[in-house]
């Protein structure tokens, strides 16, 4: 074969380059394809990848071409990642604008000029809506209510105080560390039992592992107050596991309230919608639990204040009754003493009158006897003397008996008056407290540092108030 019968390879590639460039120069195309074999050279800010197309019913690749993006194309990829929260990486189904290029050394490829973020978001949103519709259709414990969903889990009632918590998260999750730190270092000193159940929390292909961990929490039989699902930030594809049908159904049916804090800032996942309560981040989930317990504590404190106020009101009411009773006792004691004094005076006058009458009668009788004695013989005189002596004894006995009865009665009244006297009441342990020379019956007007006077039955004490302690009328617990 002679030299005129062959050409060099470079001549052939030059002809191919000229043909391709002349056909595709200045032309761009919007192409739907999947990303594979992606790599990024950060120092040069160049993306290398392959665009592939797969058959509808299988994973067989039907078309493939090399691709690259630099300069403006790399900036478009950065905008795509910011707007979608999705990192440009393998296994993405994308709509990209490309131009065709051929290089004699590197072969045929396409240059990425633009990428449609709405196309990616639309695909994910369509998949999510289809999954939600399936959940409602196939499960009677999930109902669509307005813009939200009512599930068996969301209808559970949270414990009044959340103390025991199971946390499902990645073993290396910074979000779980944030959750635990917020819970254990809360401003109110609340103590929590936090049990970790570590598993993979990204990638739809790991849904089975996540479900097994949820089943493990249930099978422990531990009566947790809540289950918390946490995850830190990440790309859109990292959160696809939380839009999985099986996980959404399991969360909706789980018999323990589930609180999510999976760090998804862009939108709400299916797991969030099926759970009892969803928050944006692990820290927010911890703050929700702490706030829930704080609300319970506030209600208890409010009840305590109400009881204290009611107790004070009842004490004041009974104190007024006691004070009125004390005044009534003093008044009654004075009236009784006056009444007995008048009765005693009457008895004394009566006794004096009776004594005088008896003495007068005896004198008259004695005179008669004396006269009779002068007239009767000595025998009669002796007889009369005997009768006189008997009469004297009778008078003396009656008088003494009557006087003793009156003295007993008088002594009884005196003891009654003495028992009810203020001085005697003080001897029983009661005291009178004065502030600024005025008797006080309540501690409301007394402050720490005030000078007070305490009057006992035999002593007056002048004191300074060192401490003021509220007292509800009950003996303190020992």
| pLDDT tens by residue, 24-66 | 888 999 999 999 999 999 999 999 999 999 887 656 889 999 9
**Among candidates 356, 460, 351, which has minimal Cα distance to 403?**
351
Extents of the domains making up the chain: 3-115, 124-280, 305-420, 426-478
Residue 200 confidence (pLDDT) above 60: yes
- Distance from C-alpha of 297 to C-alpha of 93, rounded to nearest angstrom: 51
Q: Per-residue pLDDT averaged across 135-157, rounded?
A: 93
Q: Per-residue pLDDT averaged across 389-411, rounded?
A: 88
Q: Per-residue pLDDT averaged across 170-179, rounded?
A: 83
Using N-to-C axis directions, what is the helix angle for 72-84 and 117-138, rounded to 10°? 30
pLDDT of residue 478: 46
- What does each C-alpha distance from 462 to 60, 386, 454, 459, 465 come to in angstroms? 102, 72, 6, 10, 10
pLDDT of residue 71: 93
Per-residue pLDDT of 102-142, as tens digits, reads 998 888 999 999 998 888 777 777 888 889 899 999 999 99
- Backbone phi and psi for residue 95, each to the nearest 5 degrees, phi listed first: -115, 110
In this predicted structure, which of 21-30, 195-204, 456-465 has the lowest mean pLDDT? 195-204
Q: Per-residue pLDDT averaged across 403-427, rounded?
A: 83
Residue with the larger pLDDT of the pair 348 and 200: 348
Count the helix, strand and coil residues of the chain and give each as a percent rounded to the nearest 5: 50, 20, 30
Grouping H, G, I as helix, E, B as strand and the rest as coil, residue 199 is: coil
231 in Cβ contact with 282 (< 8 Å): yes
Residue with the larger pLDDT of the pair 179 and 444: 179
- Mean pLDDT score across all residues of the chain: 86
pTM (whole model) above 0.95: no
- Distance from C-alpha of 433 to C-alpha of 442, rounded to nearest angstrom: 9
Q: What is the CATH number of domain 3-115?
A: 2.40.50.140
pLDDT of residue 57: 64
Residue 154 confidence (pLDDT) above 70: yes
Grouping H, G, I as helix, E, B as strand and the rest as coil, residue 151 is: strand
**Among candidates 176, 234, 168, which has minimal Cα distance to 207?**
168
Q: What angle do CA 125, 127, 132 make, to 5 degrees?
A: 90
Answer whether CATH 1.20.120 is correct for domain 124-280.
no
Residue 203 confidence (pLDDT) above 60: no
């Amino acid at each position: 074969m002679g030299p005129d019968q062959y050409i060099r390879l470079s001549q052939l590639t030059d002809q191919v380059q000229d043909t391709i460039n002349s056909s595709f120069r200045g032309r761009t195309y919007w192409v739907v394809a999947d990303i594979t074999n992606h790599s990024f050279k950060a120092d040069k800010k160049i993306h290398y990848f392959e665009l592939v197309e797969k058959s509808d019913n299988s994973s067989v690749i039907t078309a493939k071409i090399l691709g690259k993006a630099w300069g403006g194309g790399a900036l478009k990829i950065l905008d795509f990642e910011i707007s979608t929260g999705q990192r440009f990486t393998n296994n993405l189904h994308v709509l990209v604008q490309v131009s065709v290029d051929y290089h004699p050394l590197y072969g045929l490829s396409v240059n990425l000029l633009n990428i449609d973020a709405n196309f990616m978001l639309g695909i994910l949103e369509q998949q999510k809506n289809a999954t939600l519709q399936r959940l409602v259709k196939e499960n009677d414990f999930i109902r669509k209510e307005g813009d939200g969903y009512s599930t068996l889990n969301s209808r559970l009632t949270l414990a009044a105080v959340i103390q025991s918590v199971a946390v499902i998260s990645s073993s290396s999750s910074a979000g779980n560390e944030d959750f635990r730190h917020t819970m254990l270092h809360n401003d109110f000193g609340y103590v929590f039992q936090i049990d970790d159940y570590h598993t993979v929390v990204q990638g739809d292909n790991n849904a089975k592992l996540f479900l097994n961990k949820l089943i493990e929490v249930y099978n422990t039989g531990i009566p947790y107050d809540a289950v918390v699902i946490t995850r830190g930030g990440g790309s859109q594809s990292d959160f696809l596991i939380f839009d999985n049908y099986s996980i959404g159904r399991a969360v909706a049916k789980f018999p323990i309230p589930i609180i999510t804090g999976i760090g998804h800032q862009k939108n709400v996942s299916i797991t969030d919608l099926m759970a009892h309560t969803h928050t944006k981040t692990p820290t927010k989930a911890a703050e929700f639990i702490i706030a829930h317990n704080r609300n319970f504590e506030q209600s208890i404190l409010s009840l305590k204040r109400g009881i204290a106020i009611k107790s004070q009101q009842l004490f004041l009411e009974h104190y007024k009754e006691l004070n009125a009773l004390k005044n009534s006792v003093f008044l009654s004691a004075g009236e009784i003493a006056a009444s007995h004094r008048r009765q005693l005076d009457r008895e004394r006058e009566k006794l004096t009158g009776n004594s005088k009458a008896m003495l007068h009668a005896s004198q008259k009788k004695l005179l008669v006897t004396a006269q009779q004695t002068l007239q009767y013989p000595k025998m009669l005189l002796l007889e009369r003397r005997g009768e006189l002596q008997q009469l004297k004894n009778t008078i003396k006995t009656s008088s003494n008996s009557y006087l003793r009865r009156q003295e007993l009665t008088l002594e009884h009244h005196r003891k009654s008056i003495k028992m009810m006297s203020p001085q005697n009441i003080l001897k029983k342990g009661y005291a009178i407290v004065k502030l600024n020379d005025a008797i006080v019956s309540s501690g409301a007007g007394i402050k720490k540092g005030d000078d007070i006077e305490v009057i006992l039955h035999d002593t007056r004490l002048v004191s300074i108030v060192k401490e003021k302690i509220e007292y509800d009328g009950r003996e303190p617990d020992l």
